[in-house]
A and B are shown apart, each in its own frame.
Chain A
Amino acid sequence: MEITHEIWKRHFPAENSGAHLFPEFEMRAKAVSGEVFRVAAAAEAREALIRLVDAVQARKAVVVESPLQEAAGITAALRSRGVTVYTEAAEIAAHADTADIGISGVEFGIAETGSVFQDGYDIATRLVTILPTLHVVFLSSTHIVPGITEAFDIISQSFDRGYVGFITGPSRTADIERVLTIGVHGPSRFAIIAVDEEPKGGDA
């Protein structure tokens, strides 16, 4: 079975996409309380992540690998920082609920809404994205489409079965007196580390 994660890039438009859309994407993502860190290369991505880890004094992380994370050596960097890292599905299932941080890769961003698109067919990915209070995603800053319509041009060609979706900022509610409150069931913080440099090794 082909899943979206493996084939979406084939349908990613060469034109009408790219890093020139990043400023709008960043503005929209920040407008919904997303944190955006744009970096030039893998090494800086690692530093950006470590700053986040230090800021929340993370002791425990659940991680699903992605090419950008591998290129930046994220897992090793976390471990050297003294953070306990879980990467296997069974470990993630046992620890995601109590982890301080969840880390995963996303496919592309949408400038119109500040959303990221992620294939969550893999159960570990979903646990990592929803259970910890801080969720950090890695995104290639060239993988940005203008809007919802363009996103669906890709999705309609690459989503046959499974579990896909947009994530747009942290979990939120306004159910009590319409007061916006961040972090009800899902993460209370959502950070995007966007890397300009393409990871080596071609397709994700």
Chain B
Amino acid sequence: METETRNLRKEISEKLKDQTLRDALGRFSEAYPIARAKAYENAGDIETLRGALRQMKIDTVKRIEEVADRFEAEATKRGAKVFRAKTGNDVKEYLVNLCKEKGVRRIVKSKSMASEEIDLSKNLETAGIYTTETDLGEWIVALAGQKPSHMVMPAIHLSRFQVAEYFSKELRTDIPPDIAFMVQAARKELREKFLQADMGISGANFGIAENGAIGLVTNEGNARMVTTLPRIHVVIIGYEKLIPAIKDAAAILKVLPRSATAQLMTSYMTMIAGPTPAMVKRDGKWVEEEREMHIILLDNGRLRAAHDDKFKEIYQCVRCAACLNVCPVYTLIGGHVYGHIYAGGIGAILTAFLHGMREFEQFQELCIGCRRCTTVCPGKIDIPGLIEELRIRNVKEKGLPFLLKQTFENVVSNRKLFHGLLRLAAIGQKPFQSGRLIRHLPLFLAGMAKDRSLPAIADTPLRDRIGKITKKIDKPVKRVVFFSGCTIDFVFPETGESVFKVLQELNMEVLFPEGQSCCGKPVIALGDVETTKKIARENIRALMEMNPDGIIAACPTCTESLQHYAELLKDDPEWGPKAETMAKKVREFCSFVAEEYGKRGRLTKTGGGPKVIYHDSCHMKRVLMIDKEPRQLLEAAGCELIEMKDADKCCGMSGIFGVKYAELSMPILERKIGNIRDTGAEIAACACSGCMVQIQGGLDKQLPGVQMKHVADILAENLKD
């Protein structure tokens, strides 16, 4: 498929200006989590359901050929014709020939993402076959000459006024922007198409090997029309939809409607095994005949994924789009920027496999790795993990852009040079600095500091303060190493001081190895494995040299990165075992201190302190699974803890993303600041230096009365000197 080079920033900018889209998605992202939770109320344990679906799909993909063979055999036995299509072109050829042979001129289609994936309608049109999309949303999008912007709600980006315009044009009469009226107009118009069609094309939500049945989950009833009225029924189904047994459909149906539309069940759930009777008009009389049923089993990259150790995971997707509905980026800009028809994180992965890496690399940065999708995906797919893997493969294949490559290889992985540059930056920023924040930036960089101040590089980094803050501990209970990460070292050295103070007060010896550098996260996030390995080896050497009892990091991303070295270096005979040993020693600050306080009976609520909210950093909560401990610590330090709305929703920083896509990052931050404002808190606390950069900047510009603090700072302030 041809690929144009896109100007993603411009596309994003246009979407951000589309107020209809912004309003619709804003309302939806507010409503969805509540509706979904309600739909699951009577479903039993949701984690059990997710686990069951995941396991069933994992077992299926392992033997996908066998399952496909059985599906084909059983469907054939019952009278359906099964055609295996390797590519989209195979599908088009098969269908054009079939239409010619059977004299088909008019086709009605119910929803089939696979058919849109291969741009089927356009191709049939070229062959002189008139095709109508009958799903209301798909029809609207087709009339608008657009592509669906959501897998379940294709026209969510359009307003009733826009729809009325498209309808008026198509139906050549003035259609008012009244939703009920428009739905009736569509019913009338499309009813004629159903009754006149020679062929119905449907997709499938699942295909059952046991009896060759296909399953359709719909609300409007159009799929029932498409499979009931025309004399020929063609199903287009991807390999990933196959399941072994009839009973396995229950695992999908328990979660698909609930996750997709927050319904307990859709209006229609239909299963069709083999051809069924049709009524056909012959010489003016209605007679019953057996319908023709064709099933096109589409590969188009799917079997390659099935045999890929990592990407077989996409078979766990049931296309519910829950991942889009909670994605902080999707819910701002909608689906069109993701290129083809599959939107959001899972869409990025599917597009990479079905349309190629060239497509993927143009919008892969839109995943900010917040992992919110992983908490709702019914198939428990590690969407951000797969995206990171795709980035790694992309870099392996094509390398990084020159400048970035130079920066990573020559600067970030060279600690002395990197830190030297950061020190230089501390001087270079002076003209723009106001106190500890940069409130304005010149010209083209202005957008970055428009609704958020950027933190200034500290005059004296943490590493230059160590001598002053290290206390001599006589009989230390533990000897720990502090891994500060770049941000605490160079931007928030005071937080580093707080960490020292808290740990030393626990009678621990705290060491700061000079040789420690960046944890490597920004490098691996862009897919550069080799440079990350180099960084990892240096850090392991520096941190383990001192033979510590524990390695403490006060940033979840750093913690995660250090722990991940074991996986990163697993094939390295020298460094692999060292990384493994080190990983066991790495601890996140809050959970470590909470444990130590607990042992000493100090993890109890005290009171009398300020009103504080706690923001859950994405990686703290969804990678390290730590959310209780920081809250307990705040209460132990006397704070009055107030829960804010969406405490665990991304603040929009996400490393480099927050700076590169400042325009996109800002609306995410604005919501966060608004939620903080609503609580009336005096202090916003978190335990991640990246979030601190973002939220502190937002508070400074939008809510200056509220201070941003790391949990360590609050604990340290609470200690007597």
Q: What distance in Å separates the Cβ of A76 from its nearest Cβ neighbour in chain B?
A: 25
Q: List 7 A-B pairs, Cβ < 8 Å.
A: A93-B279, A130-B228, A149-B250, A156-B210, A160-B211, A160-B273, A163-B227
B211, A161: Cβ atoms closer than 8 Å: yes
A 159-175 to B, binary, CB cutoff 8 A, 1 in contact else 0: 11111111111111111
Q: Which of B42, B140, B160, B276 has the most CB of A within 10 A?
A: B276
Q: 8 smallest A-B Cβ distances: which pairs?
A: A186-B221, A175-B137, A93-B279, A165-B270, A113-B265, A152-B250, A171-B221, A156-B246
Asked whether any CB of chain A lies closer than 8 Å to the CB of B386, the reply is: no
A148 in contact with B253 given A172-B220, A175-B135, A185-B221 (CB within 8 Å): yes
B191, A177: Cβ atoms closer than 8 Å: no
Residues of the B chain whose Cβ atoms lie less than 8 Å from the Cβ of A200:
none
Asked whether any CB of chain B lies closer than 8 Å to the CB of A102, the reply is: no
Chain A: CB-nearest residue to B281: A93
B265, A174: Cβ atoms closer than 8 Å: no
B180, A166: Cβ atoms closer than 8 Å: no
Asked whether any CB of chain B lies closer than 8 Å to the CB of A114, the reply is: yes
Interface residue from A130, A160, A183 paired with B225 (Cβ < 8 Å): A130
Asked whether any CB of chain A lies closer than 8 Å to the CB of B718, the reply is: no
B268, A167: Cβ atoms closer than 8 Å: yes
B182, A168: Cβ atoms closer than 8 Å: no
A161, B78: Cβ atoms closer than 8 Å: yes
**How big is chain B's contact interface, by range?**
35 or more
Number of A-B contacts (CB under 8 A): 185
Residues of the A chain whose Cβ atoms lie less than 8 Å from the Cβ of B183:
173, 176, 181, 183-184
A164 to B246 CA separation, bound complex (whole angstroms):
12
Residues of the A chain whose Cβ atoms lie less than 8 Å from the Cβ of B271:
155, 159, 163-165
Asked whether any CB of chain B lies closer than 8 Å to the CB of A6, the reply is: no
A176 in contact with B286 given A186-B221, A186-B224 (CB within 8 Å): no
A 103-117 to B, binary, CB cutoff 8 A, 1 in contact else 0: 000000010111100
Interface residue from A152, A171, A177 paired with B246 (Cβ < 8 Å): A152
Residues of the A chain whose Cβ atoms lie less than 8 Å from the Cβ of B228:
123, 126-127, 130
Asked whether any CB of chain B lies closer than 8 Å to the CB of A198, the reply is: no
Q: Interface size on A (CB < 8 Å)?
A: 56
A89 to B499 CA separation, bound complex (whole angstroms):
80
A122 to B672 CA separation, bound complex (whole angstroms):
56
B159, A159: Cβ atoms closer than 8 Å: no
A172, B278: Cβ atoms closer than 8 Å: no
B267, A175: Cβ atoms closer than 8 Å: no
Residues of the B chain whose Cβ atoms lie less than 8 Å from the Cβ of A183:
183-184, 187
A176 in contact with B179 given A185-B134, A186-B224 (CB within 8 Å): yes
Asked whether any CB of chain A lies closer than 8 Å to the CB of B58, the reply is: no
A184 to B279 CA separation, bound complex (whole angstroms):
23
A97 to B191 CA separation, bound complex (whole angstroms):
9
B160, A176: Cβ atoms closer than 8 Å: yes
Q: What distance in Å separates the Cβ of B29 from its nearest Cβ neighbour in chain A?
A: 12
A103 to B458 CA separation, bound complex (whole angstroms):
77
A173 in contact with B219 given A89-B286, A152-B250, A161-B273 (CB within 8 Å): yes
Asked whether any CB of chain A lies closer than 8 Å to the CB of B599, the reply is: no
A179 to B156 CA separation, bound complex (whole angstroms):
10
Q: What distance in Å separates the Cβ of B58 from its nearest Cβ neighbour in chain A?
A: 20
Residues of the B chain whose Cβ atoms lie less than 8 Å from the Cβ of A94:
286
Asked whether any CB of chain A lies closer than 8 Å to the CB of B305, the reply is: no
Chain A: CB-nearest residue to B265: A113
A168 in contact with B247 given A159-B273, A179-B179, A184-B186 (CB within 8 Å): no
A170, B246: Cβ atoms closer than 8 Å: no
Asked whether any CB of chain A lies closer than 8 Å to the CB of B441, the reply is: no
Q: What distance in Å separates the Cβ of B265 from its nearest Cβ neighbour in chain A?
A: 4
Residues of the A chain whose Cβ atoms lie less than 8 Å from the Cβ of B221:
130, 171, 184-187
A172 to B159 CA separation, bound complex (whole angstroms):
18
Residues of the A chain whose Cβ atoms lie less than 8 Å from the Cβ of B194:
185
In chain A, positions 114-164 with a C-beta closer than 8 Å to chain B are 114-115, 120-123, 126-127, 129-130, 148-149, 151-153, 155-156, 159-164
B247, A156: Cβ atoms closer than 8 Å: yes
Asked whether any CB of chain B lies closer than 8 Å to the CB of A90, the reply is: yes
Q: Which of A32, A153, A159, A172 has the most CB of B within 10 A?
A: A172
If A156-B210, A161-B212 are given as contacts, then 18 extra A-B residue pairs at C-beta distance below 8 Å, sorted by A number, are A114-B264, A123-B288, A127-B228, A127-B279, A152-B250, A156-B246, A159-B246, A168-B263, A168-B269, A171-B221, A172-B267, A173-B136, A176-B140, A176-B155, A176-B160, A177-B159, A178-B27, A185-B224
Asked whether any CB of chain B lies closer than 8 Å to the CB of A28, the reply is: yes
Chain B residues with CB under 8 Å of chain A are 24, 27-28, 42-43, 78, 134-137, 140, 153-156, 158-160, 163, 179-180, 182-184, 186-187, 190-191, 194-195, 210-213, 219-222, 224-225, 227-228, 245-247, 249-250, 253-254, 261, 263-274, 276-279, 281, 285-288
A174 to B24 CA separation, bound complex (whole angstroms):
13
Residues of the A chain whose Cβ atoms lie less than 8 Å from the Cβ of B212:
161
Residues of the A chain whose Cβ atoms lie less than 8 Å from the Cβ of B28:
178
Q: What distance in Å separates the Cβ of B18 from its nearest Cβ neighbour in chain A?
A: 14
Q: Which of B43, B211, B246 has the most CB of A within 10 A?
A: B246
A93 in contact with B265 given A130-B224, A173-B219, A184-B186 (CB within 8 Å): no
Residues of the B chain whose Cβ atoms lie less than 8 Å from the Cβ of A159:
211, 213, 246, 271, 273
A168, B179: Cβ atoms closer than 8 Å: no
Chain A: CB-nearest residue to B180: A181
Residues of the A chain whose Cβ atoms lie less than 8 Å from the Cβ of B154:
175
B286, A93: Cβ atoms closer than 8 Å: yes
Q: What distance in Å separates the Cβ of B283 from its nearest Cβ neighbour in chain A?
A: 13
Q: What distance in Å separates the Cβ of A115 from its nearest Cβ neighbour in chain B?
A: 5
Residues of the A chain whose Cβ atoms lie less than 8 Å from the Cβ of B273:
159-163
A185, B276: Cβ atoms closer than 8 Å: no
Residues of the A chain whose Cβ atoms lie less than 8 Å from the Cβ of B287:
90
A161 to B287 CA separation, bound complex (whole angstroms):
22
A93 to B28 CA separation, bound complex (whole angstroms):
41
A89 in contact with B247 given A176-B140, A176-B160 (CB within 8 Å): no
A185, B213: Cβ atoms closer than 8 Å: no
A90, B136: Cβ atoms closer than 8 Å: no
A92 to B278 CA separation, bound complex (whole angstroms):
12
Q: What distance in Å separates the Cβ of B287 from its nearest Cβ neighbour in chain A?
A: 7
Q: What distance in Å separates the Cβ of A169 from its nearest Cβ neighbour in chain B?
A: 6
B265, A168: Cβ atoms closer than 8 Å: yes
Residues of the B chain whose Cβ atoms lie less than 8 Å from the Cβ of A151:
250
A123 to B279 CA separation, bound complex (whole angstroms):
7
Chain A: CB-nearest residue to B252: A148
A97 to B151 CA separation, bound complex (whole angstroms):
31
Q: What distance in Å separates the Cβ of B432 from its nearest Cβ neighbour in chain A?
A: 44
Q: What distance in Å separates the Cβ of B334 from its nearest Cβ neighbour in chain A?
A: 13
Residues of the B chain whose Cβ atoms lie less than 8 Å from the Cβ of A148:
250, 253-254, 265
